[in-house]
Amino acid sequence: MPSSRRSGRDATALRDVRALVGRALPWLQGFERPIAKVLGLALLLAAATAAAPLAVMYLVDLLTKVAAQAPRGLRGDVGRAVLFALALVAASELAQVWLSRLLAARSWRVRLDMDFALRERVTARLHQLPLTYHQQHTVGGTVSRVNTSIDGFVSAVGDLAFNALPAAAYLALALAALTQLDWRLALAVCAFAPLPALIGMRAAREQTRRDRALLDHWTATFGRWTEVLAGIRTVKGFAMERAEERRFLAAVAQGNQRVTQGARTDARTASLQGLSAAAARLSVATLGAWLVLRGHGTVGTLVAALQYVGGLFGPIQGLTNVYATVRRAGVSLETVSSILDAPDPLADQPGAQDLAVTAGGVTFESVSFAYGDGRPVLRDVNLAVRPGETVALVGPSGCGKTTLVSLLERLHAPTAGRILVDGVDIRSCTRQSLRRQVGTVMQDVHLFNDTILANITYGAPGATREQAEEAARAANAHEFIERLAQGYDTVVGERGAGLSGGQKQRIAIARALLKNPPILVLDEATSALDNESEALVQAALDRLTQGRTTLVVAHRLSTVMDADRIVVLRGGRVEAIGTHEELLAQGGYYARLFARHTRSGVRESGFGALADSPELATEPQPTRRISRQRARRVG
């Protein structure tokens, strides 16, 4: 290999190590003392291990001398000297065993603590990151990536601190001792020492590439796996179980094949390193024997030298893996950093105050918004919702209704304009305090695989059982809950699998009632409920909205007509605002929508679905004034 290319690679390797150390250091804050303590123990162990062959040498030389003098038993000074030598050997062995045990226990403790601290930071960050981050990453993929990366990073730091550094110390001590014993033997060792290092360095790049590809592969595989399990209803509905199983197993087999190929390459690298170590041992044994025969050394020296050579190549091999370990840690760090350093444009501003809602007025002031792709979704929206008022949002699918209400929760930030609650810009308050004041009931109700009681008190952890029951009564949920085998202690299954759509909605309403927020966001369910269930949900919603400022993404005609005002959104713009009667009188899109609804005779909940009819965009309709009561009868 041309030397310029090699020196280029070495420089890159050094840069990699320096960059990694620079990035890893802030993460190790708080662990300096425990790491230093374990490192101290490891260095002591290295010193004890390096001293052991000297004790053996002393014993062997003593015994050789005694044997040469045709001994008459081990009495007097000779006996004491042999006993002392034996005690030295025993002490060094015992010290090694004791230190190894202590080191193993302490280093595990430090690794586990580091693992805990990293998980704490990553979990907190994942919870803080904006919704868009989670929409762009699969749950399973994130879980698999986080687990693999944290394990990888912690074990790499442990390997470097507790194995590589003590190995380097042992190498230095052993080489110094060997040079003292016989410089020629030390030279023979040094001639072979760089070989395993070079072999390891060559393998490291390939290992890193492999690790990165494997991490991506497992992220995609487990991301899909969790998605399939989460969407098992759809999988079953389309009889895709076998197909999904085949797809998953093919991906696992492909991953395993890559792991096997990697293990084969690693084994080849290890055997090449082993061969170079064996060549070093053979050359030292030959040279040592020659030196002893020539009277240039003692048998003890040769035995000690062979012990050193035997013990040296393990650490040398370990040290050559340092580069691979550093690069592996780099891959892990990249992933964890991509989470910890992911931008959070919605983070609280420095000095943000808690929001205290007094009346509950909400104002959208020239609000525009676009998702990551830059396509405008909301354009210059102006809307002032008075305290205690209910405003229904109506418009075709994709016109930005859900997006508008999510801006109020600060799940996204407007690209222009601002949103005020009681005259306070929500960007200037803390996210937590804002979300405590805004309650939500979304159409895809999410229940946790926990008891009904835990699901109702979610968001109000201090609430008592009696308060939860009271909220459930107001939400028309108490009766059906009481009829369940375990009542409020019934576990609902993942995402509330054991409950009907209407029951889930009523639990969500009870949850919102218990939270008791002054501002409410409702995203009405589009899926039709049976008449009875719909009436129960509607009555619960009426109770929930009483006395609260409410923004509702409306799909039922009754909701729209019961609202104090209706906002017609089209193409991200506010097309009209008014009461039902006012909008009918204006004769625009809303009037056409209403007319079409009354003509079609579809169920109430189909009102929102009709908003999508293409003909509504153009169909001219005569303006008709219909009283609210009459319209309700028709709907």
Ligand X SMILES: Nc1ncnc2c1ncn2[C@@H]1O[C@H](COP(=O)(O)OP(=O)(O)OP(=O)(O)O)[C@@H](O)[C@H]1O
| Residues making contact with ligand X (CB under 6 A) | 132, 135, 371, 377, 395, 397-403, 553
Closer CB to ligand X, residue 223 or residue 396? 396
Closer CB to ligand X, residue 307 or residue 505? 505
Nearest to 516 by CA among 448, 468, 452: 468
Q: In the chain, count H helices and then E strands.
A: 23, 10
Closer CB to ligand X, residue 287 or residue 377? 377
- Shortest distance, CB of residue 324 to ligand X, whole angstroms? 40
Q: How far apart are CA 279 and CA 236, in angstroms?
A: 62
Q: How far apart are CA 385 and CA 168, in angstroms?
A: 70
Closer CB to ligand X, residue 312 or residue 553? 553
155 CB burial (10 A radius; 0-12, 13-18, 19+): middle
| Residue 499 per-residue DSSP state | S
Residues in the chain: 635
- Shortest distance, CB of residue 394 to ligand X, whole angstroms? 9
Nearest to 182 by CA among 295, 296, 309: 296
Closer CB to ligand X, residue 189 or residue 404? 404
Q: How far apart are CA 138 and CA 450, in angstroms?
A: 23
Report the DSSP pairing between strands 519-523 and 438-441: parallel
Residue pair 628/580 in contact by the 8 Å Cβ criterion: yes
Nearest to 475 by CA among 501, 444, 513, 529: 513
- Shortest distance, CB of residue 539 to ligand X, whole angstroms? 24
Residue 63 dihedral angles phi and psi, to the nearest 5°: -65, -40
Closer CB to ligand X, residue 488 or residue 589? 589
Closer CB to ligand X, residue 14 or residue 617? 617
Closer CB to ligand X, residue 199 or residue 553? 553
- Shortest distance, CB of residue 473 to ligand X, whole angstroms? 31
Closer CB to ligand X, residue 287 or residue 552? 552
- Shortest distance, CB of residue 398 to ligand X, whole angstroms? 4
- Shortest distance, CB of residue 376 to ligand X, whole angstroms? 10
Closer CB to ligand X, residue 402 or residue 476? 402
Closer CB to ligand X, residue 373 or residue 532? 373
- Shortest distance, CB of residue 34 to ligand X, whole angstroms? 43
**Neighbouring C-beta atoms of residue 304, cutoff 10 Å:** 27
Nearest to 510 by CA among 490, 484, 539, 553: 539
Closer CB to ligand X, residue 122 or residue 552? 552
- Shortest distance, CB of residue 377 to ligand X, whole angstroms? 4
**Neighbouring C-beta atoms of residue 291, cutoff 10 Å:** 18
- Shortest distance, CB of residue 612 to ligand X, whole angstroms? 8
Closer CB to ligand X, residue 4 or residue 136? 136
DSSP readout, 135-155? Answer: HHS-HHHHHHHHHHHHHHHHH
Q: Where are the beta strands (DSSP E) in 311-432?
A: 362-370, 376-385, 390-394, 416-421, 424-425
- Shortest distance, CB of residue 345 to ligand X, whole angstroms? 14
- Shortest distance, CB of residue 370 to ligand X, whole angstroms? 9
Nearest to 122 by CA among 328, 337, 347: 337
Residue pair 541/561 in contact by the 8 Å Cβ criterion: no
Nearest to 604 by CA among 533, 549, 551: 533
470 CB burial (10 A radius; 0-12, 13-18, 19+): middle
Residue pair 470/543 in contact by the 8 Å Cβ criterion: no
Contacts of residue 426, Cβ cutoff 8 Å, sequence gap at least 6: 355, 408, 410, 418, 419, 420, 434
Contacts of residue 118, Cβ cutoff 8 Å, sequence gap at least 6: 27, 150, 153, 154, 336
Q: How far apart are CA 283 and CA 351, in angstroms?
A: 70
Contacts of residue 136, Cβ cutoff 8 Å, sequence gap at least 6: 372
Closer CB to ligand X, residue 487 or residue 571? 571
- Shortest distance, CB of residue 553 to ligand X, whole angstroms? 6
Residue 610 dihedral angles phi and psi, to the nearest 5°: -65, -25
Closer CB to ligand X, residue 131 or residue 282? 131
Place of tokens 């580069």: 323
- Shortest distance, CB of residue 373 to ligand X, whole angstroms? 6
The helix/strand/coil state of 314 is: helix
Nearest to 129 by CA among 315, 338, 362: 338
Task: Name the token pair of 350.
Answer: 């420095």
- Shortest distance, CB of residue 558 to ligand X, whole angstroms? 18
Nearest to 344 by CA among 121, 130, 135, 175: 130
- Shortest distance, CB of residue 367 to ligand X, whole angstroms? 13
